[in-house]
Structure 1
Amino acid sequence: MTHAADLGLTCVAGLGVSGTAVAEVLAARGERVVVVEAVEGERQRRAAGELAALGVETRFGAMDLPEGVTRLVTTGWAPHHPLIAAALRAGVEVVGEVELAWRLRPAGAAPWLALTGTNGKTTAVRMLTSILLADGRGAAAVGNVGEPVIRAVTRTGDEAYDTLAVELSSFQLHWSASLAPLAAAILNVAPDHLDWHGSMEEYAAAKGRIFERAGTVVYNADDPEATRLAEPYPRAVGFTLRVPRPGQVGVVEDLLVDRAFVADPVEAAEELATLADVRPLAPHNVANALAAAALARAAGVPASAVRQGLRDFTPDPHRLQHVARLGEVDYVDDSKATNPHAAAAALSSYPSIVWIAGGQLKGADVEDLVRRAAPRLRGAVLLGADRGVIAEALARHAPDVPVVDISSQDTGAMDEVVTEAARLARPGDTVLLSPAGASLDMFAGYPARGEAFARAVHGLKAAT
């Protein structure tokens, strides 16, 4: 019989939330573990001290592969990272935290309902969790959100879950080879993280891995790339904002309708919810709700729980979050829109917009985004590192739209941005912060950017 201690030395890459969880779980199994971490900050030193009490060594700074390592567990590091590349050259097995969690599941473990996509993942997985809870299940959102998967799968007794709603990023899927969820969904696929994956083809291939061993494949029938990735699989269910065909879930007038998980998909359909049950009501959010509903239905959840779960769902902040209504103008925080695909979804949700955009585009193309949004734009206020790229696209595709360039990048810049947006807005308009870029050029993250916007809006309200 092979004991855990005989399995060699595992190196864990990174001392973040997932890396720490991996080290703790493996140490509890009696395995030998060493953690490699580049940053030696206060949080990292504290985590290393807690792991040391479990017999886990932490090495700061050096990115050399520890001698004797037989397995490396990464928590999202790219294949070209020096430590990962060294392991691959040495023939050391490299797996992700999610893959390791799948392998460590006990007998009779909770089934996984997994989803991925360029945008909408967190909203959809939280909708799914709400639906599962409405069905009376012991469920949790895990993976790229919430609790690390490796902790969720190793819960025992009364603390064990009976269904897991698993959000997976392309980074996690790249390092996952054997996942076999009960059902898996791809919400959408658009260019993102190309610096990590190297190409759009590799990025899409990583997303597609979620389907390889899934019991039921759920795909966005309105998204060409998601549809292409689903084509090889016979047990595929599409979701669409149009009237669903047999084998799909979709929208009929103001109803979300199932023509896939019913006894006779050709002749019958079942009402799942109404558009009024989806919050916030926007086309991309209806798609998220349909994806969540399809995954839940694949797990045997009744329509009544789908409806109740959507009604119970509370959206996360900074995702089309209504901040205020001032002088018949709505102010909406969609700071989570950190790429053009996400911004396009938000811009399609309102008829007349003063658009606040900019930040770090990470090489993304905004031409199509601006061209499609142009008829809805009342004005634009641009900020951040790559605002010039958006300004050039606006000049080409929306030359009559007034554009204000905010060059300041200090802490008060958002006050100036909101003031200028309010000046451009007219009754019935929506001032929409949907930047299409990342926030780290000016803010600690997209939540800080959204909070600055909200403060500026409330400051504007107080001044009127």
Structure 2
Amino acid sequence: MGSRQVTAWHGKNITVAGLGVSGISAARALAGLGAVVTVVDGGDSEGHRARAAELEAAGVRVRLADAQTLPEGTELVVTSPGWKPDSPLFAAAAAAGVDVVGDVEIAWLLRGPDAAPWLAITGTNGKTTTTQMLASILKAAGLRTAAVGNIGTPIIDVVLGEEQYDVLAVELSSYQLHWAPSVRPHSAAVLNLAPDHLDWHGSMEAYAADKGRIYEGNTVACVYNASDKATEDLVVEADVEEGCRAIGFTLGAPGPSMFGVVDGILVDRAFVDNRHKNAQELAEVADVNPPAPHNIANALAAAALARAFGVPPRAVRDGLRDFRPDAHRVSHVDEVGGVTYVDDSKATNTHAAEASLAAFEPVVWIAGGLAKGATFDELVQKAAKRLRGVVLIGADRALIAEALARHAPQVPVVDLGRTDTGAMLAAVREAARLAEPGDTVLLAPACASMDMFTNYGKRGDAFADAVRELAAERA
């Protein structure tokens, strides 16, 4: 980093909101550049005090048990992604004429003149998987890369680290994009848009607008989902560099300037000579792991971004073959008595559950948890014909039960009426009773997990443990 960037931060009074991973990363980095940093957090637990002590040893001031008052002399606020825009701290900053930005914005501003370009990904569902697929493809092309942003290592640490990269695969949440006005990716993709986090954004329009920020200033490609018009609308509205192209992806046969599927082959009709007549074969559907429809869409989006960066076709195939999805994302757990058990605990909203249910038939569906204001009528209508039965757990299970009664009254429903962690074993046993050989028992809750579990990972682990116990009982 040149002296100009360091000088810009030296002596500047910066308040960092939040003592989480990104907040600690921002505080350490900015203090290292000579800024006067104060971290504020509403918590005051033993864990908070331990993290505060570590930061204070690095010269950072920390104020616990007060996340609302703006420290005197603050010139800039750097927020963690989850803090709501209407937080009192930000209202105080606005009244004082102080800007509020996120850690992604700081990372962008700290980039050096020869920094690696960003290939950026957002969407309601599939962001992490697509980002990891993209990184796998880039690595298969021999490029130095990392999957960063809303995934893995804090992005500031990557930007300021000693390791040099050719290109970064950057996952960005709507929260991060809201606080990152200057970010200008090389190319970007919005995978899909469905109602989510509306309590944070205030409306679907505001949520979509924040997602759309990812297209601002793109230089080569704005990748959109041809089956989700809202993503294409965001491309139309974006202010991009001259020559930047709109590139669609579809599960059907692609038109010119699109990626799609023809006879089980993923093809590129965008980055080829004479795209009106020609298509470039990239990989087989069988190379995508797992080859569920929504995951094929993820692979096409990743391929489009990689091809926008000049990656050869062979690397797309090799990268997809090398990719292994994270746990709890349409993960095969076991087969017991001819019934397949699949863990998609990551399906924490209706849009994700819809994609998961569409990948299997017939299905015994385990669902329920915290609905986060969601409704389930559309999901149940689309899935009804696939359902062998449903087992409901969790705090808001009645909402799903009511939708099932309206739109799938013929489907057997077991309402366990439980929100304890032990309910998962009972749910798996009930699902096994409903299932027939050849069926899939699918944990795709369509809800958040915190009513019963620490996170969706713990919920998925409980499901896998229950399946293993069932297998042992029947061995």
Is TM-score (shorter-chain normalized) higher than 0.5?
yes
Aligned pair 1:214/2:214, yes or no? no
Query: How many correspondences in the alignment?
Result: 462
Q: Which amino acid aligns with 1:324?
A: D
Equivalent in the alignment of 1:375:
385
Indicate conservation of the 8 Å contact 1:357/1:380, yes or no.
Answer: yes
1: CA distance, partners of 2:222 / 2:232:
11
Equivalent in the alignment of 1:133:
139
Q: CA deviation at 1:57?
A: 0.3
Pick one of 413, 422, 427 that aligns with 1:403.
413
Call closer, same or farther: CA 1:5–1:134 in 2, change over 3 Å.
closer
Equivalent in the alignment of 1:328:
338
Q: CA deviation at 1:244?
A: 0.4
Superposition RMSD in Å:
1.2
Q: Which amino acid aligns with 1:252?
A: V
Deviations 1:145-188 (A, max 9, x none): 011111111123xx122211000000000111111111000000
Call closer, same or farther: CA 1:232–1:201 in 2, change over 3 Å.
closer
* Correspondence list, 1:77-92, <5 A: 77-92=83-98
Deviations 1:396-444 (A, max 9, x none): 1000100000112223111111110000001111000000000000001
Equivalent in the alignment of 2:245:
235
Q: Which amino acid aligns with 1:428?
A: G
Equivalent in the alignment of 1:57:
61
Aligned pair 1:189/2:193, yes or no? yes
2: CA distance, partners of 1:262 / 1:39:
54
Equivalent in the alignment of 1:93:
99
2: CA distance, partners of 1:285 / 1:440:
26
Pick one of 254, 268, 278 that aligns with 1:244.
254
Equivalent in the alignment of 1:44:
48
Indicate conservation of the 8 Å contact 1:27/1:56, yes or no.
Answer: yes
* Correspondence list, 1:235-314, <5 A: 235-314=245-324
Secondary structure in 2 matching 1:173? helix
Equivalent in the alignment of 2:156:
150
Aligned pair 1:456/2:466, yes or no? yes
Deviating beyond 6 angstroms after TM superposition, the runs of 4 or more aligned structure 1 residues are none
Secondary structure in 1 matching 2:267? strand
Secondary structure in 1 matching 2:442? strand
Equivalent in the alignment of 1:102:
108
Secondary structure in 1 matching 2:213? helix
Q: CA deviation at 1:106?
A: 0.6
Indicate conservation of the 8 Å contact 2:387/2:411, yes or no.
Answer: yes
Q: CA deviation at 1:8?
A: 2.6
Secondary structure in 2 matching 1:150? helix
Indicate conservation of the 8 Å contact 2:10/2:33, yes or no.
Answer: no
Indicate conservation of the 8 Å contact 1:102/1:179, yes or no.
Answer: yes
Task: Flag structure 2 segments of 5+ consecutive residues without an equivalent.
Answer: 239-243
Q: CA deviation at 1:5?
A: 6.0
Aligned pair 1:175/2:179, yes or no? yes
Secondary structure in 1 matching 2:129? helix
Indicate conservation of the 8 Å contact 1:4/1:30, yes or no.
Answer: no
Q: Which amino acid aligns with 1:230?
A: V
Pick one of 447, 461, 468 that aligns with 1:437.
447
Deviations 1:282-318 (A, max 9, x none): 0000000000000011111101101000000011000
Secondary structure in 1 matching 2:146? strand
Secondary structure in 1 matching 2:130? helix
| TM-score, length basis structure 1 | 0.98
Aligned pair 1:198/2:202, yes or no? yes
Q: Which amino acid aligns with 2:223?
A: V
Indicate conservation of the 8 Å contact 1:98/1:172, yes or no.
Answer: yes
Greater shift in the superposed pair: 345-354 or 43-52: 43-52
Equivalent in the alignment of 1:315:
325
Indicate conservation of the 8 Å contact 1:8/1:68, yes or no.
Answer: no
Secondary structure in 2 matching 1:231? helix
Deviations 1:181-237 (A, max 9, x none): 110000000000000000001001110010111122001111121122122466110
2: CA distance, partners of 1:314 / 1:12:
35
